[in-house]
């Protein structure tokens, strides 16, 4: 019985469940469709990366004598949608069944459910077993916990996978070494030279296509040098394990102007699209610890990001959708300002991050959370607008990973479903962990008045305006006790200056 095996652009793994029993006579369908490239105006680099990776994956399958039906974006008959292209492919191949792995996004899962009525054969939707924790396993865990806390989930995943375990105990006696991973970056510390990857003819065709069709989207295609094939992805992973992982833990929260990658792996996009399996990344990191080439704080921190945070966030997304997208417990309504797209701001920390993401479709997690995300939280930007911005600009962003990070971790818009308190901070944190403040028009140490960093007044304004919603949180008790001890005139000055700054933000919506 010949099957048509539909592989999506973020499922580029030979081990994906839809291909696990691939047989002679089956056909693998892959499609580039406009609807997926522009349902939000994705960063040009993200589109180019995925299309190039898809084409290289298709070529790798053909080299294994797999029959591949690949529909390019510029095919004149391309309908522009998953459904339309599946229907056309069923007409071409007349398969007995369509086999597909479940998608990462709710909207596509709903689309797939309709395929059973819209195509002329059986449609089999399989679980995505690239993830360690199934939907059922996460629900079982979540039902047993009053609060959803990643740390407890992570410990379960450690026990189940055996990563960094000594029998039933964590390696070196601790589950979490995060306290060792918060060092600022001294000027004497140099990041290792990172490999780059040349653009072959096929990737150049994609870049030209994206420039032509999506050149008005956010971002730049210049100096494209990211891995787009399985071979390149493995090379990049091996480089990280050998050269950057040993110092990744210590400096993972640090930021430095003009150096967006530092010791970070930069492989999240490769894992999320399937070119690297999360288990193999963890296997190689653990091996580095076991053979003594990387310390426990680095390896534990890296593995925690994958089997802890990544799996946890996905579990939250599927458990809480579809209503989760509309969460707004802090009633934030302010529009996202234009400089999120133009990068034209005199706040140097934001300017650095926006310039980097425009050039590369990437910021590391502290830039996303404690610089850009913190600013969004303090200003009270509309959660739906913030969600869309994060989904647009990052090459590793898919709704399943973007939405819970924004709604729950960055904006506290779900009221604390899994974050124990809002991740709000004044300028002190950014000043400690980066060199951004030294070249800024504002002073991080000045709290109010001319030249004071806006993060300082915005922090206390956020605390004051959300008092009724947050004061009952036990982790906020000291903060509110400090607010209550403040001189009344000082509080008025803070709120007046915060209002002046916020009212001066320009949001035309033209981007």
- pLDDT (tens digit per residue) in 332-343: 999 999 999 999
CA atoms of 107 and 119, how far apart (whole Å): 18
Question: Would you say 352 and 339 are in contact if contact means Cβ atoms under 8 Å apart?
Answer: no
Question: Would you say 257 and 439 are in contact if contact means Cβ atoms under 8 Å apart?
Answer: yes
Q: From 68, 8, 59, 72, select the one nearest 231 (Cα to Cα).
A: 59
DSSP string covering 129-150, please? TTSSS-HHHHHHHHHT-SS--H
Judge whether residue 35 has pLDDT over 70.
yes
Average pLDDT over residues 16-24: 97
Classify residue 148: in a domain, yes or no: yes
- pLDDT (tens digit per residue) in 94-143: 999 999 999 999 999 999 999 999 999 999 999 999 999 999 999 999 99
CA atoms of 232 and 59, how far apart (whole Å): 14
CA atoms of 470 and 415, how far apart (whole Å): 9
- pLDDT (tens digit per residue) in 172-213: 999 999 998 889 999 999 999 999 999 999 999 999 999 999
Q: From 394, 373, 389, 395, select the one nearest 455 (Cα to Cα).
A: 373
Residues spanned by the domain of 188: 135-212+228-320
Q: Are residues 153 and 253 in the same domain?
A: yes
Backbone dihedral region for residue 71 (phi beyond 0: left; psi -120 to 50: alpha; all else: beta): beta
Give how far Cα 473 sits from Cα of 224, 328, 416, 468, 491, Å: 46, 17, 9, 10, 21
Q: Are residues 303 and 178 in the same domain?
A: yes
Q: 340-362: buried (b, 16+ CB within 10 Å) or exposed (e) per residue?
A: bbebebebbbbbbbbebbbebbb
Q: Which of 287, 320, 353 is where one domain is finished?
A: 320
Task: Give the pLDDT band of residue 509 (cuts 50, 70, 90).
Answer: confident
Q: How much of the chain exceeds pLDDT 70, in percent?
A: 100
Classify residue 208: in a domain, yes or no: yes
Classify residue 483: in a domain, yes or no: yes
Average pLDDT over residues 303-310: 98
pLDDT at position 510: 74
Q: Are residues 255 and 172 in the same domain?
A: yes
CATH label of the domain that carries residue 252 = 1.25.40.80
CA atoms of 327 and 417, how far apart (whole Å): 11
Judge whether residue 1 has pLDDT over 70.
no
Q: Are residues 316 and 363 in the same domain?
A: no
Total domains in the chain come to: 3
- pLDDT (tens digit per residue) in 361-404: 999 999 999 999 999 999 999 999 999 999 999 999 999 999 99
Question: Would you say 27 and 67 are in contact if contact means Cβ atoms under 8 Å apart?
Answer: yes
* Burial of residue 134, with CB atoms counted within 10 A of its CB: 0-12 exposed, 13-18 middle, 19 or more buried: middle
Q: Are residues 415 and 472 in the same domain?
A: yes
Please give the angle made by the CA atoms of 471, 473 and 479, to the nearest 5 degrees: 60
Classify residue 158: in a domain, yes or no: yes
CA atoms of 506 and 495, how far apart (whole Å): 19
Judge whether residue 511 has pLDDT over 80.
no
Count the neighbouring beta carbons within 10 Å of the beta carbon of residue 174.
15
CA atoms of 226 and 66, how far apart (whole Å): 26
Average pLDDT over residues 355-364: 98
Reported as type and span, the H/E element at residue 433 is: helix 427-433
Q: Are residues 249 and 379 in the same domain?
A: no
Count the neighbouring beta carbons within 10 Å of the beta carbon of residue 332.
21
pLDDT at position 147: 84
Question: Would you say 313 and 414 are in contact if contact means Cβ atoms under 8 Å apart?
Answer: no
Classify residue 382: in a domain, yes or no: yes
Task: Give CB contacts under 8 A, 24+ apart, made by 115-123.
Answer: 115/83, 115/86, 118/83, 118/87, 119/86, 119/87, 119/90, 120/90, 121/4, 121/90, 121/94, 121/95, 121/96, 121/97, 122/96, 122/97, 122/98, 123/97, 123/98
Average pLDDT over residues 211-238: 97
Mean pLDDT score of the chain, rounded to an integer? 96
Per DSSP, helices labelled H in 215-275 are 230-239, 245-248, 268-273
- pLDDT (tens digit per residue) in 407-452: 999 999 999 999 999 999 999 999 999 999 999 999 999 999 999 9
CATH label of the domain that carries residue 424 = 1.10.579.10
Q: Are residues 419 and 478 in the same domain?
A: yes
Q: Where does 1-140 show beta strands of DSSP type E? A: 3-6, 27-31, 67-71, 97-101, 122-126
Q: Which structure tokens are listed for 312?
A: 């946890």
Q: Which of 84, 109, 126 is where one domain is finished?
A: 126
Q: Are residues 18 and 80 in the same domain?
A: yes
Residues β-bridged to residue 181 = none
CATH label of the domain that carries residue 85 = 3.40.50.620
Q: Are residues 140 and 189 in the same domain?
A: yes
Q: Are residues 11 and 45 in the same domain?
A: yes
CA atoms of 376 and 370, how far apart (whole Å): 10
CA atoms of 370 and 367, how far apart (whole Å): 6
- pLDDT (tens digit per residue) in 458-498: 999 999 999 999 988 999 999 999 999 999 999 999 999 99
Q: Are residues 34 and 149 in the same domain?
A: no
Classify residue 326: in a domain, yes or no: no
Asked if omega into 381 is within 30° of 0 (cis), the reply is no
Q: Which of 104, 126, 148 is where one domain is finished?
A: 126
Q: Are residues 165 and 285 in the same domain?
A: yes
């Amino acid at each position: 019985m010949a099957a048509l095996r539909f592989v999506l652009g973020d499922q580029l793994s030979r081990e994906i469940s839809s291909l696990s029993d691939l047989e002679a006579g089956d056909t693998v369908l892959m499609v580039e469709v406009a609807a997926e490239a522009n349902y939000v105006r994705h960063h040009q680099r993200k589109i180019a990366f995925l299309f190039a990776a898809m084409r290289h994956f298709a070529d790798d399958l053909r080299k294994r004598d797999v029959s591949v039906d690949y529909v390019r974006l510029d095919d004149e008959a391309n309908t522009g949608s998953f459904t339309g292209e599946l229907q056309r492919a069923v007409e071409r191949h007349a398969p007995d069944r369509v086999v597909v792995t479940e998608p990462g996004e709710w909207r596509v899962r709903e689309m797939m459910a309709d395929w059973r009525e819209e195509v002329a054969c059986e449609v089999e939707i399989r679980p995505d077993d690239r993830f360690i924790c199934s939907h059922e396993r996460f629900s079982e865990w979540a039902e047993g916990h009053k609060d959803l806390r990643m740390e407890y989930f992570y410990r379960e995943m450690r026990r189940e996978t055996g990563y960094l375990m000594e029998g039933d105990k964590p390696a070196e006696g601790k589950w979490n070494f995060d306290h060792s991973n918060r060092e600022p970056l001294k000027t004497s510390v140099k990041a290792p030279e990172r490999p780059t990857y040349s653009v072959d003819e096929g990737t150049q065709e994609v870049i030209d296509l994206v420039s032509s069709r999506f050149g008005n989207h956010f971002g730049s295609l210049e100096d494209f040098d990211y891995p787009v094939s399985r071979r390149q992805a493995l090379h990049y992973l091996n480089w990280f394990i050998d050269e950057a992982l040993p110092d990744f833990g210590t400096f993972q929260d640090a930021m430095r102007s003009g150096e967006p990658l530092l010791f970070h792996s930069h492989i999240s996009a490769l894992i999320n699209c399937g070119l690297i399996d999360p288990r193999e990344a963890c296997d190689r990191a653990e091996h580095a610890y076991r053979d003594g080439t990387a310390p426990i704080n680095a390896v534990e921190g890296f593995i925690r990001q994958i089997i802890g945070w990544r799996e946890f966030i996905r579990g939250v997304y599927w458990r809480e959708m579809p209503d989760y997208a509309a969460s707004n417990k802090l009633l934030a309504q302010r529009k996202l300002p234009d400089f999120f797209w133009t990068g034209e701001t005199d706040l140097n920390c934001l300017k650095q991050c926006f310039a980097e993401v425009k050039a590369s479709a990437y910021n590391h997690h502290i830039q996303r959370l404690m610089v850009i995300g913190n600013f969004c939280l303090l200003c009270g930007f509309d959660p739906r607008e913030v969600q869309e911005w994060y989904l647009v600009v990052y090459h590793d962003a898919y709704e399943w990973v973007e939405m819970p990070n924004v709604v729950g971790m960055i904006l506290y818009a779900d009221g604390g479903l899994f974050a124990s308190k809002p991740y709000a901070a004044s300028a002190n944190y950014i000043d400690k962990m980066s060199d951004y403040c030294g070249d800024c028009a504002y002073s991080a140490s000045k709290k109010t008045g001319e030249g004071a960093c806006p993060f300082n007044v915005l922090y206390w304004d956020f605390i004051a305006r959300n008092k009724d919603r947050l004061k009952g949180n036990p982790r906020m008790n000291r903060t509110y006790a400090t607010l209550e001890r403040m001189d009344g005139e000082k509080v008025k000055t803070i709120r007046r200056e915060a209002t002046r700054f916020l009212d001066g933000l320009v949001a035309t919506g033209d981007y």
